[in-house]
Structure 1
Amino acid sequence: MVDVSVIIPVYNASDYLEEAIGTILNQSMEDIEVICVDDGSEDNSLEILKKIAEKDSRVQYYHQENRGGGAARNVALPHATGKYIYFMDADDIVDSNALKECYDICEEKNLDFVLFRAMNYAEDTGEYFKTDDYSMDELYDFVGDRIFNFHDLGDLMFKVSVTPWCKLYNREFVMSTGAQFAEGLIFHDNIFFWDVFLSAERIFFYDKYLYTRRRHSASSTGAGDKRYISTITINNMIIQKFINHGLFEKYKKYLYDHKIYLIFHRYNTIQEQFRPYFYEHLKEDFSKMLDDERYEEFISIIVPNNKKRFEMVVNSEEFREFDLSLQNLQLSIRKNDLARKNKKLKKEVKRQENLLSRKPVSLFLKLKGK
């Protein structure tokens, strides 16, 4: 048994692969194995993997027809022998001490997994930047240096990043959950995350940035292509995970609202040419809800704007009608947001004016007291 098994799905990553794997092979922890699964790459990624494996016996590689990153990770899992498992993407960078530091923390605190922060790198501009999703400031402000699990978080659990590359997992624990990644879909890490997260009893937040995520147009979650409709299926699968864990009733309001929010977020970021295609699948999914036994409860507990979004999908006759209705709703929401901000600014201006008007009087009284 090695200390850490590193799993890397690979698809058309030839421009980044050597650098990414290099950040693993050059870790301060040497007792590792690297399990790469080439997911039917159309470039020379597989040849690069072969050359790397020839030079370093810690690297093993497998090849499959293109089935997606989720399937590649699932293929790798049974081959892992490490006490801990780390998942990495083939175009990203890991801090050279990440595995050693996380391993030591897991051993010291007897954790199911440890999570840490990640930085973003915009390849087009060369800019490094932070985002709420991967910094998780709100979560850390709450848990601090305490060991926790989802029971301690309430709705704050939905602020935990679902990405597998900002966590080091105890392998025995992961295998005991039976967790798998969704196959044939993007956003597949959600399904693995919720099975593991809802089963974990001992989690720790390591307050350090250890991972750099490369953001570029070729990535599956950044391309904005037809695959974005996966978000519909994935969100339904997430709801089912909560049902399986006996937690749906407690979190159903958030799950319903979160589903609608994420679906429309993906709709707004998908390439315009694919929006009619997205709409057709969305209408099919939402229309099924009309006949669901939970419909009345669902429509009564979601927030008003999500209710409007739902109704404009099921009531629209065709895409153009829906899209125009959505644009009007978004303009209305934007108008209300600006009105609230303007009201807040006016209050602040008035407060500052009142403070300034009192200062001369205060100064006079202070001088008079002397």
Structure 2
Amino acid sequence: MATFISVIIPTHNRPDLLDEAISSVVDQTLSDWEIIVVDDFSNPCVSPEQLQEKFGPKIRVLQHSSSMGGAAAKNTGIKAASGKYIAFLDDDDLYAPTYLEKAVSTLQKHPEINTLFMSVAWFGPNSKWTHESYTDAMNKILADLAGTQVTETLLEFDADRLFKALLKRVPMAFQRPVAAREQVMQIGLYQEDCLLWDCDWALRAALNGQCGLVTEGLYLQRSAGQGYSSQPRRRVDHSLSNLEIKKQLIKRNVRPDLAKLIRLNYIQSAQDLSWEYINQNQGLLAIRTMLTSFRYGIHFLQIKFLAHAIYSWGLSLRSKEQK
């Protein structure tokens, strides 16, 4: 018989945190699960024997022969999963004890929901300011969505409104999905060359059926500055990935009204990236970014940003000449 739910845990060089993550699954109120640990070329590698000795036989370990990244690790787990449902857990995070029970029971009681997102609670030394930022982002997106309150802890969303809202921002709750395996495969695997792979997947999920949100913070997210992609120096990388996501969405066969909206959002994202370049005294890159955005439409703000980028580049050149 297929395991009821497969929990996929990608990991890389975090043995102690991995043990904590696995323990939070073992302690779930729902017991019909399997854990698939995908070791993304840790050094030393994760030992299946040691994990099974600590936590029991319902753990499998799959090994990457080179480091391929978190998206590839999730895909390896998806392909190997035997569960009716699939959930994900980062190796530095935890599940609240009722996480799996709540997710599965919600999907069973509400078959109209294809993808269920799970709200987040933060812990760790940086949790206070992270929680404040997350709460602000969630309040904004929930105001845009005006979701239907199905139960005290469950919201359902109009698919178009969700997609449009996620184009502006993808708060962490919408990066924590649980869905039937068939639904995951219909949405498609994670994009392995995309830094913001969870955001990209959430947008595609919104284009593939009804989505819901459990409003209880049952996914426990660690905030201790340990994230690989959350460092301040990655802001330009994040902006570039955001642009690439929008570019790929434009290439998809979406309705004309959605395609127009994505193009406008691409232009706005290009302006954000241009501003990052200007702040880093990289005026030429800011100019190139804005010139590229004219492929997707022409708006007054583009011209204004382009002029600002040219001016900033000129100042930078003049400063270099004076030195």
Do these two structures clear the TM 0.5 threshold for a shared fold by scoring above it? yes
Please give the secondary structure, in 2, of the residue aligned with 1:191.
Answer: helix
The verdict on how the C-alpha distance between 1:160 and 1:229 changes in structure 2, with shifts beyond 3 A counting, is closer
Q: For 2:232, which of 224, 227, 231 is the aligned residue?
A: 224
Supply the AA of the counterpart residue of 1:150: A
Q: How far apart, in 1, do the equivalents of 2:318 and 2:61 lie?
A: 47
Supply the AA of the counterpart residue of 2:6: S
Please give the secondary structure, in 2, of the residue aligned with 1:53.
Answer: helix
Q: For residue 40 of structure 1, report the CA deviation from its aligned partner.
A: 1.7
> Unpaired runs of 5+ in structure 1?
324-370
Q: How far apart, in 1, do the equivalents of 2:252 and 2:121 lie?
A: 33
Q: How far apart, in 1, do the equivalents of 2:260 and 2:21 lie?
A: 42
Q: 1:1-53 CA distances to partner (integer Å, 9 max, x unpaired)? A: 122111111112223111111111211111111111111223x4624x54113
Q: For residue 250 of structure 1, report the CA deviation from its aligned partner.
A: 3.6
Please give the secondary structure, in 2, of the residue aligned with 1:62.
Answer: strand
Q: For residue 174 of structure 1, report the CA deviation from its aligned partner.
A: 1.5
Q: Report the equivalent of 1:137.
A: 139
Q: For residue 248 of structure 1, report the CA deviation from its aligned partner.
A: 1.3
Q: Is the 8 A contact 1:144 1:205 kept in 2?
A: no
Q: For residue 190 of structure 1, report the CA deviation from its aligned partner.
A: 2.1
What are the within-5 Å matches in structure 2 for residues 203-352 of structure 1? 203-225=211-233, 228-246=236-254, 247-261=258-272, 263=273, 275=280, 284-289=288-293, 292=295, 294=296, 297-298=297-298, 300=299, 304=301, 308-313=304-309, 316-317=312-313, 320=316
Q: Does 1:192 align with 2:201?
A: yes
Please give the secondary structure, in 2, of the residue aligned with 1:46.
Answer: coil
Supply the AA of the counterpart residue of 1:312: H
Q: Report the equivalent of 1:58.
A: 58
> Unpaired runs of 5+ in structure 2?
151-155
Q: How far apart, in 1, do the equivalents of 2:108 and 2:63 lie?
A: 33
Tell which deviates more after alignment, 9-18 or 225-234.
225-234
Q: 1:186-234 CA distances to partner (integer Å, 9 max, x unpaired)? A: 222222222222112x222222111121123331222234685253144
Q: Is the 8 A contact 2:85 2:180 kept in 1?
A: yes
Indicate the structure whose relative CO is greater, using CA pairs within 8 Å and at least 6 residues apart: 2
Q: Is the 8 A contact 1:23 1:94 kept in 2?
A: yes
Q: For 1:174, which of 169, 172, 184 is the aligned residue?
A: 184
Q: Is the 8 A contact 1:121 1:215 kept in 2?
A: yes
Q: How far apart, in 1, do the equivalents of 2:197 and 2:135 lie?
A: 17
Q: Is the 8 A contact 1:7 1:34 kept in 2?
A: yes
Q: Is the 8 A contact 2:85 2:179 kept in 1?
A: yes
Supply the AA of the counterpart residue of 1:221: S
- How many residue pairs end up in the alignment? 305
Q: 1:87-106 CA distances to partner (integer Å, 9 max, x unpaired)? A: 11100111110110110010
Q: Report the equivalent of 2:117.
A: 115
Q: Is the 8 A contact 1:34 1:60 kept in 2?
A: yes
Q: Report the equivalent of 1:368.
A: none
TM-score by length of 1: 0.70
Q: For residue 173 of structure 1, report the CA deviation from its aligned partner.
A: 1.2
Please give the secondary structure, in 1, of the residue aligned with 2:16.
Answer: coil
The verdict on how the C-alpha distance between 1:23 and 1:128 changes in structure 2, with shifts beyond 3 A counting, is farther
Q: For 1:151, which of 151, 160, 166 is the aligned residue?
A: 160
The verdict on how the C-alpha distance between 1:128 and 1:239 changes in structure 2, with shifts beyond 3 A counting, is closer
Please give the secondary structure, in 2, of the residue aligned with 1:28.
Answer: coil
Q: For residue 157 of structure 1, report the CA deviation from its aligned partner.
A: 4.0
User: Identical aligned pairs, as a percentage?
Assistant: 18
Q: For residue 319 of structure 1, report the CA deviation from its aligned partner.
A: 9.2
Please give the secondary structure, in 1, of the residue aligned with 2:246.
Answer: helix
Q: How far apart, in 1, do the equivalents of 2:183 and 2:293 lie?
A: 36
The verdict on how the C-alpha distance between 1:318 and 1:82 changes in structure 2, with shifts beyond 3 A counting, is farther
Q: Report the equivalent of 1:342.
A: none
The verdict on how the C-alpha distance between 1:223 and 1:156 changes in structure 2, with shifts beyond 3 A counting, is closer
Q: 1:222-264 CA distances to partner (integer Å, 9 max, x unpaired)? A: 2234685253144222332244041211443234214533x36
Q: Does 1:35 align with 2:36?
A: yes
Please give the root-mean-square deviation of Cα atoms over the aligned residues, in Å: 3.5
Q: How far apart, in 2, do the equivalents of 1:254 and 1:284 lie?
A: 18
Q: Report the equivalent of 1:331.
A: none
Q: How far apart, in 1, do the equivalents of 2:225 and 2:318 lie?
A: 28
Q: Is the 8 A contact 2:190 2:198 kept in 1?
A: yes
